[in-house]
Chains A and B, each alone.
Chain A
Amino acid sequence: MKKYFSIWLHFAKISLQRLFEYRADFFLWSLVSTGWTIFSLLFYQILFLQTSNIAGWNKQQMLVFAGTYMIIDAATWSIFWRNIQNYTESIFNGTLDFLLLQPIDAQFRLSVRHISFTNVPRLIIGIILLALNLPTVTLSQVLMYIALIFLSMGVIYTLWFFTATFTFWVEKLDNIIEIVPTLRRIWSMPSDIYSGFVGAMLTIIIPLALITTTPTRLLLHQFRWQELVALLTFFIVLFGATRAFFHYSIKKYSGIGS
């Protein structure tokens, strides 16, 4: 565990060095990230220009929700996007061979090699939104909130890695990694907006709608244990399935040059 943490720190350090090397690049992509954040916030603003509450969420609660969404989104995008992209590319062009020879867990190596810092403005905006709209919370709530954020990130990561692993089985489908970025629209809105079969599907069977809702409810003193159980169970099952699917796919992998 210590070894892996130290490796992750080294990778983070290298990524930080790259940031200082390409400063203009960092500046422009940070602007892009800020722009998309404003774009997302505009949609919430448009909705609240027409109504005072959405599925029981008032504007202030919704801003806490938006803050949580920004934090989760910025963190997952920063840590995983480039790695998932490189993962699928390495399968298509055969460079995965070299990586599999390294004396380290292949999934870990594939998942943490790069860290992007261009989403820091999005993260900061998220934290500001929380700070400005948060009701009084206790320290234990904050700690539990952080744990839930990590759980949500874990769900997104495993889902992303799982879908990206299909690359082993398809000939050319570059946009397979875009599935999860599109799916995040589901957790960009509170789970209460989904009703009927879709609602049951997205909160119980595949509880993607809870990714942002559950941590937010905790801060709003509306926490539901059932949601945590659903999310945690889904994560454990999906993580196990992803590991198994990855190892099975590796066995079938022959490399482009072999």
Chain B
Amino acid sequence: MWISRKVLLVKRRIKKWLAVFRIGLIQGLAFRAETFLWIILDIFPTFILIASWLAVFHGKTTVGGQSLSQLIIYYLAVLIIINLAEVHFEERWVENVRYGKIDYYFVKPISLPTYIIVQALGSKLMTFVTFLLPFLALMFGLIHAGLITGFTFTFSKLFVFLAFLLLAFIFDSILSFFVVFAAFWMDEASSIGHFKWMVTGIFGGTLAPLTFYPQWIQKIAAFLPFKLALSTPAQLLARNSVLHSDLRELGLFFVYVVVCVFIIRFMWKHAQYKYTSAGG
């Protein structure tokens, strides 16, 4: 009796999630041209990064202990992570909180954070479909130009990378929630979103592998979780095999994510009491 009730509850919950997921997917489809343009705009800087490193590599086989091919694979992996794991819902939801447009979501049979994250997941599926073609074109172009050599594919590498990717999606969503929830207390939370991008960009390793950074940044980055979302999985793809340290870092990342989930739940609980809107 108790078990069947539990099963029914889980079924209902999944049904709700699927409905919201579908909304995300439909929205992604409705704005497919916009999504496609975003992907092209995200891919473009990689060309400039590669051109810059080509100039640095001029006459050298390795730089900072990495070959050009490894560096390019690193940037391609960063591109995958940015497109598939990073979310940008904070901009829209900061505005919604600021202008009192979330009342409607309080009476829905699903909590607002769940609604946002499931919808983001739906949009990400659409992004994945749109991303695939230009990304493959870029990759084949680079292989054809002889810039990617010696890449080895193993299922263990893929499996660990996907696990990192999933955690990176949750982690980035949590960071975005920090920004959205900040809007309950301050007027200009949208600017905080930029700090999120900057911090993840610098300490995550968007510009280059972290070993290329100045020592003092490397020391700070070692104590922060951002590298686990970007640099560690990207380096993993550029290497030939999965190292024991990769698995340890995956475990560490999981712990970070769990701790952050608790913090977010705590913040959301307090944010709801803080919220007021006109006309209610």
Interchain CB contact (< 8 A) of B34 among A24, A173, A189, A194: A173
Q: Which of B41, B48, B64, B212 contacts A189 (CB 8 A)?
A: B48
Q: Considering the complex, give the chain B residue whose CB is closest to the CB of A193.
A: B55
Task: Tell whether A176 pairs with B37 under 8 Å between CB atoms, given A46-B212, A50-B63, A55-B55.
Answer: yes
- CB pair A178 B41 closer than 8 Å: yes
A256 at the interface (CB under 8 A from B): no
Asked if A182 contacts B44 (CB within 8 A), the reply is yes
Q: Which chain A residue lies CB-closest to B199?
A: A35
- 0/1 string, A35-72, CB within 8 A of B gives 1: 11001001101110111001100000000000000000
Q: How far is the CB of A214 from chain B (nearest CB, A)?
A: 18
A window 84-132: CB within 8 A of B:
none
Contacts of A179 in B (CB 8 A): 37, 41
Which A residues are CB-close (under 8 A) to B37? 173, 175-176, 178-179
Residue of A24, A31, A39, A188 with most chain B CB atoms under a 10 A cut-off = A39
Pairwise interchain contact A192-B38, C-beta atoms closer than 8 A: no
- Answer yes or no: B103 CB below 8 A from chain A CBs: no
The answer to whether A251 has its CB under 8 Å from any CB of chain B is no
Give the CA-CA distance A49 to B208 in the complex, in Å. 12
Does A170 count as interface, using CB distance less than 8 angstroms?
yes
Among B18-46, those with CB < 8 Å from A are 31, 33-34, 37-38, 41, 44-45
Query: Do the beta carbons of B187 and A24 come within 8 Å of each other?
Result: yes
Contact indicator A172/B34 (Cβ below 8 Å): yes
- Let me know if B51 and A189 touch, CB within 8 A: yes
A50–B214 CB distance below 8 A: no
CB <8 Å contact, A175 and B198: no
Is A2 an interface position by the 8 A CB rule?
no
B224 to chain A, nearest CB (A): 16
Complex contacts, A174 vs chain B, CB 8 Å:
34
Residues on A with beta carbons closer than 8 Å to the beta carbon of B58: 55
Tier of interface size on chain B: 20 to 34
Please, which residues of chain B bring their CB within 8 A of the CB of A193? 51-52, 54-55
Also in contact, A45 and B214, with CB within 8 A (given A24-B187, A29-B191): yes
Do residues B191 and A28 form an inter-chain contact, with CB atoms below 8 A?
A: yes
Q: Please indicate the chain A residues that have their CB under 8 angstroms from the CB of B198 in the complex.
A: 35-36, 39
Interface residues of B in 90-123 (CB under 8 A from A): none
Are B194 and A36 in contact (CB-based, < 8 A)?
Answer: yes
* A186 touches B (CB below 8 Å): yes
Binding site for A on B (CB under 8 A): 31, 33-34, 37-38, 41, 44-45, 48, 51-52, 54-56, 58, 63-64, 187-188, 191, 194-195, 198, 201-202, 207-208, 212-214, 217
User: A39-B207, A49-B213, A174-B34 provided; 13 other pairs, C-beta below 8 A?
Assistant: A25-B191, A39-B202, A42-B202, A43-B207, A43-B208, A47-B52, A51-B56, A51-B63, A54-B56, A173-B33, A173-B37, A175-B37, A175-B41
